[in-house]
Amino acid sequence: MKRPAIFVRAAGAEPRGSSVQVVPPSGFTARLTVFSAAAMAFLAVFALALLLTSGRVAQSWGGELTRSATVRVSAPAGQMAAQVAAVLAVLETTPGVAAARALDAAEMQALLGPWLGAELPLATLPLPRLIEITETGAGPDVEGLRLRLQAEAPGAVFDDHARWRGPLVAAATRLKLLGLVAVGLIGAATAAMISLAAQAALAANGQVIRVLRLVGARDVFIARAFVRRFTLRALAGAALGTAAGMAAVAALPTLDATGAVLTAPGFVGPEWALPLAVPPLAALVAWAATRSAALVMLRGIR
Amino acid sequence: MIELQSVAMRYAGRELFSDVSLTLAAGTFHFLTGPSGAGKTSFLKLCYAELMASAGQLLVFGQEARTMQRDDVARMRRRIGVVHQDCQFLDHLTLAQNVALPLTVAGRAVNSDELRELLSWVGLSAQAEALPAQLSGGERQRAALARAVIQSPEFILADEPTGNLDWEMSLRLLALLVELNKMGKSVLIATHDLNLIRTAKAQVPARVLRIQNQRLQVAGADL
């Protein structure tokens, strides 16, 4: 009998073999992985939007309110102009004050309109005058300024917005922290779900793994077969979820009148590029989770 | 090549054999016999480190099986072709892909002409694209043998390789194993088939090992 050539061929290193898929296609784990990755990516996009929005709010509120202050002048109608002029004079010579100006009637109307109505006859009401101050970086000596104002214009009250600024900045910072936590939790949940799906697939393919070990497959080869599959599924699912998430964020309503106080929810300008990092990150998480699950399980099969 | 020194083996809470010292040298041909449940399959599994000895020392290609790293076990199994009694395959791959699996996992190229020739050698050319579920018991055993020898291993372990074959096909498979042995490969066949042993002994200087009463004995020449 003629010997098959395959027996007489010298064993040794040869070019890479075929790309036969040694792991059989598995229906439910595939769908579970794609769905989990898509859902998590969708949530991750929203968490990212929350994180960036709250960051902008914190920066906006902290920055703008820190650099501004207000002097409210309450005085009888006959003395109002004199007291406003006195306050402006004091402010002009106060170190730490970059600019100061009294709000005119139109600006007062715009401020009070939303609360008291656009037709409000401001001239007939004994309203205080507001003086807006823009501070330099260091800001004025608040206590010294208050004393000087008390001396020059007894009806003037200096407000550095500290009452408002603290809680607002704290709330925005807390929101930013929550966004970060949410992103972290979503990453961990993604890893957990993909690990479970990978473990289910590995358990369902116990015989496949035993046969592969029997014919001399190294753990890395077997793990790679599963890891490649789950990584690609996670990438595909996360791409779908990210696209849906970005579309949903883009469809969020914009803020009109309140926009000056809050900020547009979602992504602004180059921030739109950030969600594009979600699919590769999800794939990376899937790669690490599946590899770890596979290597742990393989240790139980000699 | 495979050396057992005072090896004992326990399985499912009972001792199968003990104090076994034996060397299966390169180029030898051995049969392993014994009653059902005596531990023939376990002995074979011991030889390719799927099971561990409960006592003693087992050296495979000079390496102590117990201390082998997992990658060492994989590399060792590429040098040993195993024909399992239950002939496990990957059910989603064709017969040809299953036979070529040892090359695939080793990252070696599969030469389709050589693969076709090997399948022809075991009489499975027509079934190359069939799935394992579509094969008969005898076809599965021949496919398992083809898979075991495709890497041209140094050692071939076969567990009842002719159990599901008719006599003509059994002789054909024996001829393959004898041929491989003449090429310098070691062969160890666990079998109940005394006719097969007698036929083989007429062609090669085969030794017969027998597990009985928890001891491994070299059987007499009267088989």
User: What is the pLDDT at residue A53?
Assistant: 86
| Chain B interface, best mutation among A3, A7, A220, by max B CB count within 10 A | A7
Binned at pLDDT 50, 70 and 90, residue A259 comes out as very low
> For chain A, which residues make up each domain, given as ranges?
25-62+166-298, 75-154
Contact between B152 and A210 using a beta-carbon 8 Å cutoff: no
Q: Which amino acid is at A156?
A: A
Cβ contacts of A249 within 8 Å, gap of 6 or more: A45, A46, A49, A265, A266, A267, A275
The answer on pLDDT for B110 being more than 80 is yes
Contacts of B94 in chain A (CB under 8 A): none
The answer on pLDDT for B152 being more than 70 is yes
* Interval A120-128 mean pLDDT: 77
* Interval A240-266 mean pLDDT: 77
Largest CA distance in chain B: 48
Locate A121 and state its tokens.
């006859």
Contact between B147 and A3 using a beta-carbon 8 Å cutoff: no
Using a pLDDT cut of 70, give the percent of chain A over it. 87
Binned at pLDDT 50, 70 and 90, residue A141 comes out as confident
Contacts of B74 in chain A (CB under 8 A): 213, 216-219
The DSSP line for A121-187 is -GGGS-PPEEEEEEE-SS---HHHHHHHHHHH-TTEEEE-SHHHHHHHHHHHHHHHHHHHHHHHHHH
The answer on pLDDT for A277 being more than 50 is yes
Cα separations (Å) of A118 from A115, A124, A127, A128? 9, 14, 16, 18
Residue A61 to residue B110: CA distance in whole angstroms: 67
For chains A and B, count residue pairs whose Cβ atoms are closer than 8 Å: 121
Binned at pLDDT 50, 70 and 90, residue A47 comes out as confident
Contacts of B52 in chain A (CB under 8 A): 302
- Dihedral sign for Cα B164, B168, B172, B174, please: positive
| Chain A interface, best mutation among B104, B172, B179, B183, by max A CB count within 10 A | B104
Q: Give the count of beta carbons closer than 10 Å to the beta carbon of residue B29.
A: 24
Minimum distance, in Å, between the CA of residue B220 and any CA atom of chain A: 31
The answer on pLDDT for B138 being more than 90 is no
Over the stretch B176-186, which tens digit does the pLDDT of each residue have? 889 889 989 99
User: What is the pLDDT at residue A6?
Assistant: 57
Cβ contacts of A302 within 8 Å, gap of 6 or more: A213, B49, B50, B51, B52, B73
A16 in B contact zone (CB under 8 Å): yes
Binned at pLDDT 50, 70 and 90, residue B10 comes out as confident
User: What is the pLDDT at residue A179?
Assistant: 82
Contact between A207 and B101 using a beta-carbon 8 Å cutoff: no
Torsion of CA A148, A149, A151, A154, to 10 degrees: -170
Residue A204 to residue A132: CA distance in whole angstroms: 71
Tell me the pLDDT of chain B averaged across its residues: 89
Binned at pLDDT 50, 70 and 90, residue B47 comes out as very high
The model carries a pTM of 0.69
User: What is the pLDDT at residue B223?
Assistant: 44
A1 in B contact zone (CB under 8 Å): yes
- Which domains does chain B possess? 2-218 (3.40.50.300)
Contacts of B156 in chain A (CB under 8 A): none
* Interval B41-55 mean pLDDT: 91
Contact between A298 and B109 using a beta-carbon 8 Å cutoff: no
Cβ contacts of A279 within 8 Å, gap of 6 or more: A41, A235, A238, A239, A242
Over the stretch A188-231, which tens digit does the pLDDT of each residue have? 888 888 778 878 888 888 888 889 999 999 998 998 888 888 89
User: What is the pLDDT at residue B197?
Assistant: 92
φ/ψ (deg, to 5) at A83: -70, -40
Contacts of B115 in chain A (CB under 8 A): 6
The answer on pLDDT for B116 being more than 50 is yes
| Chain A interface, best mutation among B101, B110, B118, B182, by max A CB count within 10 A | B101
Contact between A16 and B114 using a beta-carbon 8 Å cutoff: no
Minimum distance, in Å, between the CA of residue B46 and any CA atom of chain A: 11
Q: Return the residue of B nearest to A5 by Cα.
A: B114
Contact between A22 and B118 using a beta-carbon 8 Å cutoff: no
Q: Across-strand partners of A179? A: none
Contacts of B107 in chain A (CB under 8 A): 14, 16-17, 221
User: What is the pLDDT at residue B209?
Assistant: 92
Binned at pLDDT 50, 70 and 90, residue A18 comes out as very low
Minimum distance, in Å, between the CA of residue A47 and any CA atom of chain B: 41
The answer on pLDDT for A11 being more than 50 is no
Contacts of A207 in chain B (CB under 8 A): 88
- The arrangement of strands across the sheet holding A97-102 comes to A97-102, A129-135, A68-73, A156-159
Residue with tokens 């592969």, as numbered in its chain? A212
| CA atoms in the 13 A half-sphere facing the CB of A133 | 29
The answer on pLDDT for A77 being more than 60 is yes
